[in-house]
Each structure stands twice: as structure tokens, then as C-alpha cells.
Amino acid sequence: MAVTETRNTAAGDEGGMGYLQSVPRRVVTIYLPLLVFVVVLLFPFYWMAITAVKPNNEMTNFNDFSPFWVVQPTLEHIDYLLFQTSYPGWLLNTVIISVAATFLSLLAAVFAAYAIERLRFSGSRQVGLAIFLAYLVPPSILFIPLSVMVFNLGLYDTPFALILTYPTFLVPFCTWLLMGYFRSIPFELEECALIDGASRWQILTKIVLPLSVPGLISAGIFAFTLSWNEFIYALTFIQSSENKTVPVGVLTELVRSDVYEWGALMAGALIGSLPVVILYSFFVEHYVSSMTGAVKE
């Protein structure tokens, strides 16, 4: 009996991941799913890259050329995109609008999340739920009343039209995310600071925000990504070519009736996606840790 118990204990001490020790199981349960995930994730970037450097004759002649490879790469599409269109201006507009909208959204979300989680006023939970539900309203419904306000304020066809309207869908989710992260910070730290005579502003700037850097990075990445890829508001509120953003400019300026500049389109999409990819690669650890803290109760 004792020997049996010892064997069971030894078997149980192998660890929760012991079932993955055999090579066939690791291949089926780990490497194969990871391979499928990586292929599905990276294939669009690969397709954009080869199309951006593929001559026009290779794009249409599938009998002599493979659609998945380039025989004679060329830079004519990238040259056309950068020097014969307004793409550099679109890229600059997108950066300015995304950074400004992200900053305004984080500023409002920090104050809203801290007030809801820490000030303990009556109905705070309901207010937080209402803010998050506002994020679920589709932009296709909001852009109609927002367009009236943009016209009345004289902001049409200016970057401010997007900088001031993007927070309408950025603030709700950023507030909800920061609420979850602020909730994970021990309230005893603030109580000690209040006893020592610190004000609410000092507590927010010197205690809460330094401890919430991963959450702020996560919310900032989320807001920047949505601002960078937003299409409906940018299409509705911007008319002139020089004020357009990358998503709208690439689609409206590189597609002429039934003529698609596929090489320039893919080059513009690839270059336009690089800033977001670089941003995620630099802050992926903070992003994961912040999402973990946001779901703690």
C-alpha cells in the first residue's frame, strides 16, 4: 500500500506539463498549432511584400510565373508610391492624428477610471458600465450626428475633425481597461498617502500612474492602433488629398475606377502596417502584463 502511494506521489510530482514530454505529443499539441498560427499570421505580410516588388507582367501571367514568388523583383511600385503620390503626407497625417488622439484619450481615460475606481461615489459601477457600453455603439451610426457637429464647428477637412472625434470610441475602452488595472493596485497605498497628507492629485501622479505604466502602455497601444487603422471617420470628414490618412488615401487615390494599382496598394499597406508592428514588438511584454492585471479581481 505504501509503495503504491509512493508511486502515485512520484507520478503526481512530474508537474502539470508532464504530458508534453513525449516528442509526438509536443509536435501535435504545440509545434503544429504554432506553425499553423504563424503561417496564417505572417502570410498577409508575405503576400504584400512580394506583390510590392513584383512587376505587372508577373501579376497577371500565372501560366509562366508563380503567384507565390517573384522572379524579377522591381522597386517601381515603391518609387511610384513615395515620389509620385501624396503617400508621405498621408503617413505624416496619420502619425500626427493618431498620436494626438491617443494622448487625449489616455488623458480622459485616466481621470475617468481613477474617479470610478477610487473615489467611491454612488453609482460608480453603473457609470463604468455605461462608459464601456458606449464603446459597443457602431461608428457607422455615430458618424452621422458627428458629421453635423464637425460641419457646424468648421472642422471639416482638417486634422482636428479626426483628432476630436476619435476619442469618442477610444475613451470608453481605455477607461474600462484602466479601471481593471487600477483595481489591481492595493488601496492601502493610497490610504497611507492620505494619512501622510498627500492630495488626490499627488496620489494619482506619484503613486497610481507610476504603478500603472504597463496598463497605460496597453491602453495607448490599443488607442494608437485603432486611430491608425480607422477608416469611416477619415473617409467622411476629410476630402482633400493632402489631408487624408493612409487607409483612406491608399484606397481612394490608388484605385481609379476599375484600375487597381496592386503593386502600389500592397506597398502602401505594408509600409503603413510597419509602425504598428514595431510598436507592438517593443512593448509586447508590458502589453501582456497589463492585460493580465486588467482582468484581476
Asked, for residue 3, whether it belongs to a domain, the answer is no
Same domain, 161 and 270: yes
273 pLDDT higher than 70: yes
6 pLDDT higher than 70: no
Asked, for residue 4, whether it belongs to a domain, the answer is no
The Cα-based distances of 67 to 51, 57, 71, 90, 268 in angstroms read 9, 11, 10, 30, 19
Question: Domain containing 253 — which CATH number?
Answer: 1.10.3720.10
Q: Taking residues 86-108, report their average pLDDT.
A: 94
Q: Which of 37-41, 58-62, 95-99 has the lowest mean pLDDT?
A: 58-62
Q: Taking residues 2-21, report their average pLDDT.
A: 50
Same domain, 58 and 190: no
Same domain, 67 and 114: no
Q: Which percentage of the chain shows pLDDT scores above 90?
A: 20
Among the candidates 74, 105, 121, a domain finishes at: 74
Same domain, 58 and 150: no
113 pLDDT higher than 80: yes
Asked, for residue 217, whether it belongs to a domain, the answer is yes
Q: Which of 133-147, 155-169, 194-208 has the lowest mean pLDDT?
A: 133-147
Asked, for residue 49, whether it belongs to a domain, the answer is yes
Domain housing 135: 79-294
Confidence of residue 145 (pLDDT cuts 50, 70, 90): confident
Same domain, 42 and 128: no
267 pLDDT higher than 50: yes
Q: Which percentage of the chain shows pLDDT scores above 70?
A: 88
Distance in angstroms (rounded) separating the CA atoms of residues 244 and 234: 7
Asked, for residue 244, whether it belongs to a domain, the answer is yes
Asked, for residue 223, whether it belongs to a domain, the answer is yes
Same domain, 160 and 237: yes
Adjacent-strand bridge partners of 260 = 255
Number of domains in the chain: 2
Same domain, 62 and 196: no
Among the candidates 74, 98, 114, a domain finishes at: 74
pLDDT of residue 287: 60
pLDDT of residue 98: 94
102 pLDDT higher than 90: yes
pLDDT of residue 143: 81
Q: Which long-range contacts (CB under 8 A, 24 or more apart) does 283-290 make?
A: 283/217, 283/221, 286/213, 286/214, 286/217, 286/218, 287/214, 287/217, 287/218, 287/221, 289/214, 290/177, 290/181, 290/214, 290/215, 290/216, 290/217, 290/218, 290/219
11 pLDDT higher than 50: no
Instruction: Let me know: does 73 contact 54? Beta carbons within 8 Å.
Output: yes
Same domain, 194 and 233: yes
Distance in angstroms (rounded) separating the CA atoms of residues 153 and 15: 64
Same domain, 49 and 167: no
Same domain, 169 and 236: yes
Same domain, 124 and 190: yes
Same domain, 259 and 170: yes
Asked, for residue 167, whether it belongs to a domain, the answer is yes
Asked, for residue 9, whether it belongs to a domain, the answer is no
Among the candidates 28, 56, 74, a domain finishes at: 74
User: What digits encode the pLDDT tens for the residues 247-264?
Assistant: 999 888 888 777 788 888
This prediction has a pTM of 0.80
295 pLDDT higher than 50: no
